[in-house]
Amino acid sequence: MADIRRFESARMRVLTELERQRHGIGMQKEKTLHAIFKNYEDSDADHQEIPVVGNYIADIFNGSEIIEIQNGNFGKMRDKLRVCLQQYPVRIVYPIPHYKWITWIDPVTGEQRNRRRSPRKGTIYDAVPELFKIRPYLQDPHLTIDLYLTDMEEYRLQDGWGRNGKRGSHRFDRIPTNIVHELRIRDKRDYLAFVPPDLPEPFTAAQMAAAAGQRGKAFSDTALLLTELGILNRVGKRGHAYLYRIGDAFREY
**Domain boundary assignment for the chain:** 4-186, 195-250
**Of 53-57, 135-139, 212-216, where does mean pLDDT reach its minimum?**
212-216
pLDDT number for residue 184: 97
Is pLDDT above 70 for 27? no
CATH class of the region 195-250: mainly alpha
Please tell me the least confidently modeled range out of 15-19, 59-63, 187-191, 243-247.
15-19
Q: In this model, does residue 24 exceed pLDDT 70?
A: no
| 152-191 burial: b if 16+ Cβ within 10 Å, else e | bbbbbbbbeeeeebbeebeebbbbbbebeeebebeebeeb
pLDDT reading at 25 higher than 50? no
pLDDT over 80 at 203, yes or no: yes
Give the Cα separation of 42 and 3 in Å (integer).
Answer: 12
- On the question of a cis peptide bond just before residue 51, with omega within 30 degrees of 0, the verdict is no
31 has pLDDT over 80: yes
What's the rounded Cα separation, in Å, for the pair 89 and 34?
Answer: 20
With the C-alpha atoms ordered 141, 138, 177, 49, is the resulting torsion angle positive or negative?
Answer: positive
Above 50 in pLDDT, residue 167? yes
253 pLDDT higher than 60: no
Query: How much is the pLDDT for 17?
Result: 78
> Does 229 score more than 80 pLDDT?
yes
- Residue 157 and residue 141: Cα distance in Å, rounded? 42
Answer whether residue 30 shows pLDDT above 90: no
3-state helix, strand, coil in the chain (%, to 5): 35, 30, 35
101-143 tens-digit pLDDT: 999 988 888 888 889 999 999 999 999 999 999 999 999 999 9
User: What local confidence, expressed as pLDDT, does residue 16 receive?
Assistant: 87
Tell me the average pLDDT across 11-19.
82
